[in-house]
Structure 1
Amino acid sequence: MAERTFRQRLQDGETTIGTFQIIDSPMVSEIVGLSGMDFTIIDQEHGPLTAESSVGMCAAAAQGGAAPIVRVRENTEGEIQRALDVGAAGVEIPQIETREDAEAAVEHARFSPLGGRGLSPYTRAAGYNGGPDYTDTQNEEVTVIVHIEGERGVENLDEIMAVEGIDVLFLGPYDMSQSIGIPGQVRHERVEELMDEVCERAGEAGKIVGTFADDPEMARRWIDVGAQYIALLEDAPILMDALADRREAIVDSE
């Protein structure tokens, strides 16, 4: 039996755990996979990463066993097309607030007849030489993840969920907190109520939900209400905390 794609795993109901990556290093991408994480989100929106640096990171993540997901800077054709052309298994698209936003995201991420993604058979995603099944394979395997990050997105959730071609509704708790005037308070009851509402409505509609978690406790809280795609922290603070803990253990033992 052929190995299931990351998109198929989500569709089969699996809970997947990954992390955001802002360190510009293919080695980190590979380590994320070797650690057992299911995916790494190569963060072009809030990190220093580019299409050029993402090429090696996508290859290294896949080599280590993690699906490379690229978070683009904005919902535009060029941003999404480049992320997928360099070999990402999926794309995360920020600030989706309306049906029109969602439709644009799908249009940029899917090839015809599902969308209007620009086609070149000579990209890394195409194996540099395309083939008759390239566009169908990409449409079948690429994971499209849209960010619901504020009250407006929640208000328009039904219209967003009605758009075909979206795989995951990703709830951004930090932007959500900012949108309701309590920036950074991601465990505030008002933020959790909004996110609970989305999880409930998405579950009723048969849609997959994802979110970010600062720690395992926060991750389990959202898994318990149905989230399948959990981004646990980021590579930089994970590394920093691990080093600080080890130094503290040495100093305390003296």
Structure 2
Amino acid sequence: APYSLVELDNFGRALELGGMSGMIKVDRENRGWVAQRAVGSGFQNVLFSDVHDAAEAEECVAIVRAESPQTGGHFGSADRRFASYGLESGSPEYVQALEDSVVSLMIEKDEAVKNIDEIMAVPGVDMIVFGGNDYSMSVGRPRGVSPNELKEVRDHIFKVALANGVQPRAEIGEPAQADEYLEVGVTHFAIGTDIFMIYQWLNERAGALREMLAS
């Protein structure tokens, strides 16, 4: 959904009022600026899209970590909302908050799948997510890769991730779909999206109403 810098702060407030942590997904272009502004607004975690290799994975980690000899990141002392607008900027707690942020990567390109061992060896990568549609496009077969093929690729990268102590996040539509993942050690899930839920709800009910009216 579209958002402004003001709305990022409001997202951060909403997360805190609900006692939740938040994750924002950022596109490849300008991802450093967007990710750091989002963290500054109160998002604790960042999902980076379009990662291709270990060098890009290292850059994503550095975007979120503090710029210090110990942490090796690019995040400076910013007078943002998450640091009480400057009252806590640059403090040890500030650095620790950045260290605690979850860095998640979309593994959705053919190149990333081929480089999965090197990417998973990058320190600071906490989580991965598989993107089937992007993967299909990246191999020149948009929406043309079979579900079985996608499952093979997904299972492979999840296996490599778990072997390296990185948590995969699986996307499911119903709780029952979690069983196959739980059996192999996957315990993080995204269950549906708001847009699809609304579409599915309206499609089912409006479709049923149309049939009633037609009869």
Match of 1:125? 82
Do the aligned residues in 1 keep the contact of 2:161 with 2:167 (CA within 8 Å)? yes
Choose the corresponding residue for 1:67, options 21, 30, 39.
21
- What are the equivalent positions in structure 2 for 1:104-183 lying under 5 Å apart? 104-111=59-66, 112=68, 113-128=70-85, 129-130=87-88, 132-183=91-142
Partners of 2:50 and 2:9 in 1: CA distance: 24
The structure where helix makes up a greater share of residues is 2
> TM-score under structure 2 normalisation?
0.82
Query: Comparing 132-141 with 159-168, which one deviates more in the overlay?
Result: 132-141
1:219–1:175: structure 2 CA closer, same or farther, 3 Å change rule? farther
Do the aligned residues in 1 keep the contact of 2:26 with 2:48 (CA within 8 Å)? yes
1:195–1:122: structure 2 CA closer, same or farther, 3 Å change rule? same
Partners of 2:128 and 2:100 in 1: CA distance: 17
- What are the equivalent positions in structure 2 for 1:23-102 lying under 5 Å apart? 47-74=1-28, 76-102=31-57
Give the residue type in structure 2 aligned to 1:212. Answer: E
Partners of 1:93 and 1:167 in 2: CA distance: 12
Give the residue type in structure 2 aligned to 1:122. Answer: D
Do the aligned residues in 1 keep the contact of 2:105 with 2:125 (CA within 8 Å)? yes
Partners of 1:106 and 1:154 in 2: CA distance: 19
1:175–1:74: structure 2 CA closer, same or farther, 3 Å change rule? same
> TM-score under structure 1 normalisation?
0.71
In the alignment of these two chains, the number of paired residues is 208
Unpaired runs of 5+ in structure 1? 1-46
Instruction: Name which one, 1 or 2, has greater alpha-carbon Rg.
Output: 2
Match of 2:164? 205
Unpaired runs of 5+ in structure 2? none
Match of 1:238? 197
CA apart distance, 1:106: 1.0
Partners of 2:177 and 2:4 in 1: CA distance: 30
Q: Relative CO higher for 1 or 2, CA cutoff 8 Å, sep ≥ 6? A: 1
1:108–1:52: structure 2 CA closer, same or farther, 3 Å change rule? same
Do the aligned residues in 1 keep the contact of 2:65 with 2:99 (CA within 8 Å)? no
DSSP-derived class of the 1:126 partner: helix
Give the residue type in structure 1 aligned to 2:98. Answer: N
Do the aligned residues in 1 keep the contact of 2:120 with 2:160 (CA within 8 Å)? no
Partners of 2:20 and 2:203 in 1: CA distance: 26
CA apart distance, 1:66: 3.3
CA apart distance, 1:74: 2.0
CA RMSD of aligned residues (A): 2.6
User: Aligned residues: percent identity?
Assistant: 26
Give the residue type in structure 1 aligned to 2:109. Answer: G
- What are the equivalent positions in structure 2 for 1:178-189 lying under 5 Å apart? 178-184=137-143, 188-189=147-148
Show CA shifts across 1:79-129 (max 9, x none). Answer: 221121111010111111111101111111100232333323421111222
Give the residue type in structure 1 aligned to 2:143. Answer: G
Do the aligned residues in 2 keep the contact of 1:121 with 1:130 (CA within 8 Å)? no
CA apart distance, 1:167: 0.8
Match of 2:186? 227
Greater than 6 Å deviation, 4+ residue runs: 249-254
Give the residue type in structure 2 aligned to 1:146. Answer: L
Show CA shifts across 1:202-251 (max 9, x none). Answer: 22222211133355555544444333332223212212323444556677
Do the aligned residues in 1 keep the contact of 2:105 with 2:128 (CA within 8 Å)? yes
